[in-house]
Amino acid sequence: MSAKAKGAMTESHRVYQVCQKLAEFYEKSKPAGMIDEDFFDDLQNEIACELRLMEAEEAEVGRVSGRIEEFYQHLHPSDHLRTIPGIGVRTAQVFLAIIGDPHRFRSQSAFANWTGVVPGARQSANSEGKGLRMTKTGPSMMKRALFQAGDIARRYDPQLADLYYREMVQHGKTHLQAMGAVMSHLGARIMAVLREGRPYELRDSQGKLITKKKAMELIRSAYKVPEETRQARRHRKSNVGRLASRGTREAAKAPQSRHASTSPVTVYLAEDKQSIGELMA
């Protein structure tokens, strides 16, 4: 059965449940004298009023959304932001509005500190606890948009998929910790695109240009996190030292991605490539 058919069946079931509850309400209310000949007319009028208010609200939302898109196109006519996987109509507008002039940040590091997407680090003799938490600084809307866009981007961008896979499988991180790394790298892509004025290009972890179709095939074959690993991360306790040790043991046993790369992450733009290290200079 197709997803569309399942959705239609679910919606029909909900309508049936509402009708059933209404019938039960009617049966219980009639003996008490709560239902008279004007009851359903009043109910119909009330529903019609609510529908008119909803239509007016939707029309206003559409008008405001159109106006926001006009501002976005005026300020960012190239629309290069939306060439980055995971960044859609609304998130592109959010990023552009919050960041403003990208050149006001002296470096990528300064931008990362401003967003607050800078994983903290805690180390001991036997463990390394990088990525345990992010700072509390930075615009909350920016972090929310980075998380939403990053969770989609890692499913389409092989480099981010590789990063997420290594954080989860090889480094023993939870989903939220791995997403912190993805958010940081997505922020670097956003800043590179805005500062350089060029669209983003999909590349594999070795820097080779890749199509969207090939990118999806690569992600499915090499960077899919096993479900048992996800389950294990969900049930982790708060003891950081013990978890880090367990993560180290799991990393030794975990399957290494055939395409994993230990080289610095690179932001690739059309007709050019620039490393994160260069952007931070």
Q: Is residue 60 part of a domain?
A: no
Q: Is residue 96 part of a domain?
A: yes
**pLDDT tens figures, 25-83:** 778 777 777 777 777 788 889 989 999 999 999 999 999 999 999 999 999 999 999 99
Q: Is residue 53 part of a domain?
A: no
Contact 199, 269 (CB under 8 A): yes
Question: Could you write out the DSSP letters of every residue in 116-169?
Answer: T------B-SS-B-TTS---S-S-HHHHHHHHHHHHHHTTT-HHHHHHHHIIII
User: What is the count of structural domains for the chain?
Assistant: 1
DSSP 3-state of 23: helix
**pLDDT tens figures, 135-179:** 667 789 999 999 999 999 999 999 999 999 999 999 999 999 999
Q: Is residue 109 part of a domain?
A: yes
Provide the domain limits for residue 246.
Answer: 69-279
pTM to 2 decimal places: 0.69
**CA gap 260, 222 in Å, rounded:** 9
**CA gap 265, 162 in Å, rounded:** 10
Q: Is residue 266 part of a domain?
A: yes
**Which phi and psi (to 5°) does residue 236 adopt?**
-70, 145
Q: Is residue 155 part of a domain?
A: yes
